[in-house]
Amino acid sequence: MKLKKVRRLVASVVVFTTLFSTTIAEAATQKITKSLNTKITTTATTQTQNVLKVKVNDNGSVTYAEPSTQMTNEKKKFSWDNATVYFALTDRFNNGDTSNDHSYGRGLDKNGNVQAGYAGGPGAFQGGDLKGLTAKLKEGYFTKLGVNAIWITAPYEQIHGFTSGNDSGGQAQSNGKGFPYYGYHGYWALDYSNVDANMGTAQDLKEFVDTAHSQGVRVVMDIVLNHVGYATMKDVSEYGCGGLAAGWENYYYGPIANLVGGAVEATTYYNTSDPKWATKWWGPDFVRSSAGYAGYPKASEGAGWTDCLAGLPDIKTESTTEVGLPPLLETKWKREGRYDKEMASLDAFFKNRNLKRTPRNYVIKWLTDYIREYGIDGFRCDTANEVDFDSWAALNREAKVAFEEYKAKNPDKVLDKDAQFWTVGESWGHGVNKSAFYTSGGFDAMLNFGFKGINLSNMQSVYRDLSKVNNDDSFNVLSYISSHDDGLYNRDNLINGGTALLLAPGAVQIFYGDETARSLGWTDRFTSDYKDQTYRTFMNWSDLNDPNSKASVTLSHWQKVGQFRNNHLAVGAGKNIDLAASPYTFGRIYNKNGVSDRVVCAVGASGVTDVNVSGVFNDGAKVRDAYTGAMATVTNGKATFTADKNGVILIEKGDNSPDVSIEPNSTKYYTDTLNLTLYASSGATGTYSIDGGAEKSFVNGDSITIGQNVSYGTGTIVTIKASNSDGTATQTCTYTKMNPNFVSYVYFRKPQNYGTPKVYIYNDDGGQVTEVAKWPGVEMTLAHDDIYTYTLPKGFRNAKVIFTDGRTQMPGQGQPGLSLPDGDTMIYDNGVWKPYVDFILPQVSISQGSCTFYDSLTLKLGCKNATTATYSINGADPVVYSDGDPLVIGKNIAINAQVTVTLRASDGRNMDTETYTYTKIATPLPKISKAYCKRPQGWGTNMRVYIYNDTVSPIKEISKWPGVAMKSEGNDLYSYELPADWGDAKVIFTDGKNQTPGAGKAGLLLPTGSAMIYDNGNWQPYK
């Protein structure tokens, strides 16, 4: 939300002919819901069309596009991770009922006539309402766009009057540039318990939600917990809740152009010393005020938890003191004849939920009523950074309770009986990082302010960073390119903007009118103050009357890409795989809970294009470009299509042959073993083999473990196959076991006039940032000439680096760091990031670090970047070795004897030395695993752990759910030691009320012999 007084920095023809000269077309729709997990809903759509598309190009050549089988007779899946949320500023979208345009006398003078200059003004109510939204739902506007959730502005009653606006800002005197600024945007609440009449009625809201749900579309409601609306002259007069100065009526109902700036109005037309402010307005126990009203300690304006944002009355959400109903609402409800009903409802809520009558709990009750009564599916929470986390956590808890109540009472309307209520927060500037809003505030997602600058040139890097949201089921963001506060995307580049938005990982938000190139307004009036008004013009429906208009052409593109996204869970929720840089090509694969989906997208393509689909679609598979309808067969990992003029190729499966995949795909791993999940789609049963061995059967979602007793640097080849009546699919992946104690090096050639360089090194996997040192990082060491170096800590993986001298940085501010491959040596030299081959340090390695052994032990010795390498045993004379040589130790030594192996490697200038100690034992020591858990905030102390292994049949358990009691180690740390040699395990922690991982999710992997800890959302080795 951005408010007054706030300035934030920050040529083909398509012919349809029927197959066999017979028209056979039927369409039937049946709504079905099925639980796949807490984040997925399926809605079945049956549609059969035996229609052949014939495409004639400019030369008269004919190509055929077979009917898509992708969504025929197939269930359409929903996940908030793949949500396409349409943000409709309700008042500016569509006017479905003109009779309510001047509710509460808005825009009228004292005689009930429309004020001159009011209609269509920047701060005026312009007529959009709930009936208008419902009408567009019934027209199919949203489903044609691929929208599966609609974000509406807060429908509850806003302040009736206006605050003064002026083109010249809050301090402006009467200058002929005034305008009335109403709460059309929904952020200035007067009465949470009532639907605003300009928006419609309670029945209108019910019909809108029910209509949306009937089309598989969720409803997200904008809400404010931070503040209520300004006091306006009309409301103060109407409810007698404060003091007004003489002459206010002539000013308020006089010529609009004579309105002054808001700050001038506040000191001229209000009597702040009137005692009614304390006794008849919100009350000093419910809100704080910066306006200087009698009875309210003067609060500061700002964006803190206890500040008044832009002078708005700030709800005391942090207060634990019980308070009565605000006097303003008591007066209002009694006048409207609903006081007894509303008070009875409040009494029942506080009793049933066992909650104190604090300010935040009143508001939470009123907000969650929209869930209980109408079935709202989610909240978009305004100004999240200006409310304490405890209050957000409380709202999120009660919202989930209310959602369950609604589902229980309305089973025939529920889209997904196991769905969870969804909340997304707005914190100005928040990006793709898993902050305390998730872990403490309980949010499912946050608005992604960093996405709006995306374009075709930076799409790959933006997607790569954004795709980490799909590595964590409890982490999502809502990305956008335009908003009501933050500007509109380039109106001449909305084809590419739509592509970039609708193909993005995670949830995305369409701001109304981006899909129709809606223009800015009032740009001649607002350049700084009130600039956000220029983003909020009325929806340009009339521009769509011309099929060749910019609006129509833009909409057509957004509809194609939007429907593709909505048809494919993989687009937003799948794992991102970069396949080619030019044209930028990426694949997305989704495999969860028995649901499998995959796509490949090429952006910036031109003419005939060989698209790399390897690793996503198997050779021989038929695939379809959803953008043009053309078909192709995958050959040598490529599918050939002719790109449309918009340069987008959207590839989906074109037949029902199986797909196979392994999760993860080919990769390096740094653990003793690696769990792989095998997938085979279309109901096929598959087989797998390891390193060319015997084939074994698997079914979709089965897991296998590799890596045990495999030496570092050794690859394991896994091949999977699947067949059905439509074809066969095969995939082969290679997994290389790596030394977890690898070392990476970074170099930097210092530019002229550059200070002593420092390097900031971090890892942001999964949205969590791990740093070697806080910004600006660590000082680098001069290696020679102008070359500086830094050696990373052992085992620091997936590092990103930024160089700085305290004045400038490389890469520039706001850009992600340079990627440093594990164990590599890289240099930043004159603007180029490349492997460093001029001066590389020698390095020794060994296949197994210090350990115990029995009988004998075979080691594999390694060295690189060295002219000589030697080993010595127990201090004996050194022996020269080459990289990869084996060394057998311990064959003829006594039990409990130790063998010390020292490795040295030199390049003539530098030397690397490592020493390892090995102890011979009589028999193998038992492998003991241990699980630790740092008690999460809000959990009880009855910590238990459920331990199982589901790779065997029947499932192996230490104890039935909820498992065994854990031992308190102090400081909220709990532990449990597994029986010796129990083997690989999966663990779930619980206190009897909460559990992690959540219900329906697999346990955390505890490899045999390891010690792991769950701490603040991270599962990692315990040190």
Residue with the bigger pLDDT between 853 and 54: it is 853
Best CA proximity match to 145, nearest among 132, 157, 156, 136: 136
Distance CA 15, CA 12 (A): 10
Whether the CB-CB separation of 679 and 701 falls below 8 Å is answered with: yes
Best CA proximity match to 869, nearest among 889, 847, 884, 888: 884
Residue with the bigger pLDDT between 837 and 374: it is 374
Would you give the end-to-end CA distance of the chain in angstroms?
44
What is residue 513's predicted lDDT score, i.e. its pLDDT?
98
Whether the CB-CB separation of 571 and 503 falls below 8 Å is answered with: yes
Q: Is pLDDT above 60 for 210?
A: yes
Whether the CB-CB separation of 868 and 905 falls below 8 Å is answered with: yes
Q: pLDDT of 478-487, one tens digit each?
A: 999 999 999 9
Q: Is pLDDT above 80 for 476?
A: yes
Region 591-601: what's the mean pLDDT? 88
Distance CA 259, CA 252 (A): 8
Report the range of poorest mean pLDDT among 1-5, 542-546, 548-552. Answer: 1-5
Q: Is the pTM of this model over 0.75?
A: no
Q: pLDDT of 794-803, one tens digit each?
A: 999 999 999 9
User: Considering 426, 515, 543, 644, which one is annotated as catalytic?
Assistant: 426
Best CA proximity match to 605, nearest among 566, 640, 573: 640
382 is catalytic: yes
What is residue 766's predicted lDDT score, i.e. its pLDDT?
61
Cis peptide before 816 (omega within 30 of 0): no
What is residue 48's predicted lDDT score, i.e. its pLDDT?
31
How far is C-alpha 931 from the geometric centre of its chain's CA atoms? Answer: 30
What is residue 346's predicted lDDT score, i.e. its pLDDT?
98
The segment with the largest mean pLDDT, out of 72-81, 124-133, 595-604, 652-661, is 124-133
Neighbours of 9 (CB within 10 A): 5
Whether the CB-CB separation of 715 and 736 falls below 8 Å is answered with: yes
Strand order across the 745-749 sheet? 781-784, 787-791, 745-749, 825-829, 832-835
Band the pLDDT of 165: cuts 50, 70, 90: very high
What is residue 7's predicted lDDT score, i.e. its pLDDT?
29
User: Considering 101, 382, 416, 659, which one is annotated as catalytic?
Assistant: 382
Band the pLDDT of 699: cuts 50, 70, 90: confident
Residue by residue, DSSP assigns 192-219 as EEEE-TTT--HHHHHHHHHHHHHTT-EE
238 is catalytic: no
What is residue 682's predicted lDDT score, i.e. its pLDDT?
65
Whether the CB-CB separation of 916 and 874 falls below 8 Å is answered with: no
Whether the CB-CB separation of 196 and 290 falls below 8 Å is answered with: no
What is residue 595's predicted lDDT score, i.e. its pLDDT?
83
φ/ψ region of 533 (left if φ > 0, alpha if ψ in -120 to 50, else beta) reads alpha
- Quote the radius of gyration of the chain (alpha carbons, Å): 32
Percent helix, strand, coil in the chain, to 5, is 20, 35, 45
Distance CA 185, CA 439 (A): 30
* AA identity, residue 31: K
Rounded to 5 degrees, φ, ψ at 53 are: -90, 130
The segment with the largest mean pLDDT, out of 315-329, 659-673, 967-981, is 315-329
Q: pLDDT of 831-872, one tens digit each?
A: 899 998 755 678 899 988 888 888 889 999 999 888 899 999
Region 970-995: what's the mean pLDDT? 91
Residue with the bigger pLDDT between 878 and 36: it is 878
Going by the DSSP 8-state scheme, the letter that residue 105 receives in this structure is G
What average pLDDT does the chain have?
A: 89
* AA identity, residue 859: L
Region 661-683: what's the mean pLDDT? 87
Q: Is pLDDT above 70 for 100?
A: yes
Q: Is pLDDT above 50 for 912?
A: yes
What is residue 925's predicted lDDT score, i.e. its pLDDT?
67
Distance CA 161, CA 234 (A): 5
Whether the CB-CB separation of 454 and 462 falls below 8 Å is answered with: yes
Q: How far is CA 19 from CA 49, 50, 266, 539, in A?
A: 10, 6, 73, 41
Q: Is pLDDT above 50 for 913?
A: yes
